[in-house]
Chains A and B, each alone.
Chain A
Amino acid sequence: MSGSAMSAATTNPGGATAPPLNLPAPGARERRRLSPAFGLAAPGTLFVVLALMGPLALMFRYSLNRFVPGQMMVEALTLANYQKFFADSYYQEVLATTLWVSGLSTLLCLLAGFPVAYFLVRQASDKWKGRLLLLVILPLLMGNAVRTAAWMVILGDKGLFNAFVSTLGLSPVKLMYTPTAVVIGLVSVLLPFMIVTLQSIIEGIDANLEAAASSLGASHLTTLWRVVLPLALPGILAGTMLCFILSMNAYATPVLIGGPSFQMMAPAVYQQVAKAMNWPFGAALAFVLMAVTLVLTTTANVLVQRRYRRWSE
């Protein structure tokens, strides 16, 4: 597997860690000198530790504090904030909404992303593959604010979609501030991740395997199911995890397209920390969010790895 284009897909199917960097394996060339390496890596590592790890640890500590209205935070060592989360049906609903919206968005991304990835690898010429990939990535990087605004323009009550619908003589559809709109918005931002991940794993599957299956009598769908799918499983898992994690953490889309009555976890964290100033509970929400994501992705990872390991190593 050369080039790190593959890294996202192959070496570490998802989990809650970033795809690894595909560093060279230890070999004869390795240099065993410690000092320069540490010197080079230390500033960056220290920066992340101080600006991310430290604050996260602090926030975890805060999640064990007690919130007293008017006093903000009182030092304590209590699980009350976590208990509150699991006792409060409102927050359970927020979590449930987050989970099903993320699950659905991820599934749609998988269904819509696979044909594109397959097309890019198996059918598009190299020149077009590059261009189309760029075209896929561009919208991803136009920013959440801009993309969300665009979806508001399209999905609004008097938006592009309803204008189109009314030219057909149909009555307008209420889309804005519905879960449907949120899912649409999320899919559009997550699809590029899925496509790029799937693309790199399909690239690694020998096209002759599909030809072989086909010559042995398998239809295209059977070939996909029995040959491509099992071989692409790690990449599918990686892409699925990525999309799932990203949509679990989505902020702008649910806030702006979901509207005030639609609640997901990330906006709830912001709400508690910045608006309600209930830091202990906001912190607890953040850690519940991370923990749920971690548990789900790790479980999926273990399940798939178990099937995959037999022939992959």
Chain B
Amino acid sequence: MGILAINRIYAALSALVLAFVLLPLVAIVWVSFFANRILSFPATGYTFSWYVRAWEQEAFRNGFITSVETALVAVAISLVLGVPASLALVRYRFPGRDAIQTVLLSPMVVPGIVGGAALFMAFIELEVLLDVEIAGTLPGLLIAHGLIALPWTVRLVTASLVGMSPSYEEAARSLGAGVLTTFFRVTLPIIKPGIVAAALFSFVVSFIDLEKSIFLVGPGRTTLQIALVSYLEWNLDSTVAAVATVQILIIGALLIASDRYARLARAF
């Protein structure tokens, strides 16, 4: 078999696999415009009305708002905790560095359901001990989502720190800059792309989380993903598709933006 034939086989297989991966995305966007009252194929016509209906659904609207709030706070938590930690991991050598690295990345490894269940139990235990409500509250959700976002931030920020030669910082220090000045005037501007990518990516992983949140949402305080799943348990119609399409657009835009700052593939 010639090289060209082999190349063509790979290209064809890749196209097929890519189509499979993208099929759900395309299908749900398509369906969101169906005019059919009950979801079925083929379309009897096309309409935007499902988007209006989706927004009118309180569960989706509130879920969306909660998700955005939660994700923003999660980004803040992950940056405040993750950027200094990354700096320590990359620029310093100290006993226990490997252990700290393992701890910081562990939220990625522990299954979402297991971590969520553990957090849920701990919250209930604390509620009993302290006589305050945590499990169904926003702070409880925020802690969980900070945990989701942190390892990704550490990953992306360390990657850009590793790619930055320490000589820049050494040059700044030799020119008389203090530690903080060096960080804010030299390190931060240079790794800014990594930080922006980390922020955007953290937002996404928090926004789409389902497994951890499922234990921690309370009545009246539900994230969009939980709202979607509870809706899906009983119905499947174009309202869900409209919500999904909006979510795909938002996440797609965020990912393309963050890919401009740092190659996303290296987060995995």
Residue of chain B at shortest CB distance from A29 = B166
Kindly identify which residue among B28, B105, B108, B158 contacts A153, using a CB–CB cutoff of 8 Å. B28
Do B121 and A147 have beta carbons less than 8 Å apart? no
Residue of chain A at shortest CB distance from B38 = A158
Interface: B150 (CB within 8 A): yes
Do B247 and A144 have beta carbons less than 8 Å apart? no
Given A43-B84, A48-B107, A55-B121, CB of A143 within 8 Å of CB of B17: no
Interface: A168 (CB within 8 A): no
Do B264 and A134 have beta carbons less than 8 Å apart? yes
How many residues from A make CB contacts under 8 Å with B?
Answer: 109
Q: Which of B86-117 contact A (CB under 8 A)?
A: 87-95, 97, 100-115, 117
CB neighbours of A151 from chain B (8 A): 24
- Least CB distance from B210 to A in Å reads 5
Q: Which of B243-263 contact A (CB under 8 A)?
A: 243-244, 247-248, 251-252, 255-256, 259, 263
Q: Which of A272-298 contact B (CB under 8 A)?
A: 273-274, 279, 282-283, 286, 289-290
CB neighbours of A115 from chain B (8 A): 9-10, 13-14, 17
Do B228 and A149 have beta carbons less than 8 Å apart? yes
Do A56 and B27 have beta carbons less than 8 Å apart? no
CB neighbours of A197 from chain B (8 A): 268
Kindly identify which residue among B121, B163, B211 contacts A279, using a CB–CB cutoff of 8 Å. B121
Given A41-B84, A139-B25, A266-B111, CB of A36 within 8 Å of CB of B179: yes
Residue of chain B at shortest CB distance from A193 = B268
Kindly state the separation between the CA atoms of A11 and B102 in the bound complex, as whole angstroms: 14
Kindly state the separation between the CA atoms of A160 and B40 in the bound complex, as whole angstroms: 8
Do A273 and B265 have beta carbons less than 8 Å apart? no
Do B84 and A286 have beta carbons less than 8 Å apart? no
Identify the interface centre among B109, B146, B268: most chain A CB within 10 Å of its CB.
Answer: B268
- Least CB distance from B28 to A in Å reads 4
Identify the interface centre among A119, A146, A192: most chain B CB within 10 Å of its CB.
Answer: A146
CB neighbours of B120 from chain A (8 A): 273-274
Do B14 and A120 have beta carbons less than 8 Å apart? yes
Do A45 and B103 have beta carbons less than 8 Å apart? yes
CB neighbours of A286 from chain B (8 A): 111, 113-114, 117-118
CB neighbours of B266 from chain A (8 A): 3-5, 7, 200
Do A52 and B115 have beta carbons less than 8 Å apart? yes
CB neighbours of B1 from chain A (8 A): 219-220
Can you sample 14 A-B contacts with CB below 8 Å? A18-B109, A18-B151, A22-B159, A36-B179, A38-B88, A45-B103, A58-B125, A115-B14, A144-B211, A145-B210, A158-B39, A160-B41, A188-B21, A269-B114
Given A3-B162, A153-B24, 6 more contacts at CB 8 Å?
Answer: A20-B105, A45-B103, A55-B119, A113-B17, A122-B10, A138-B22
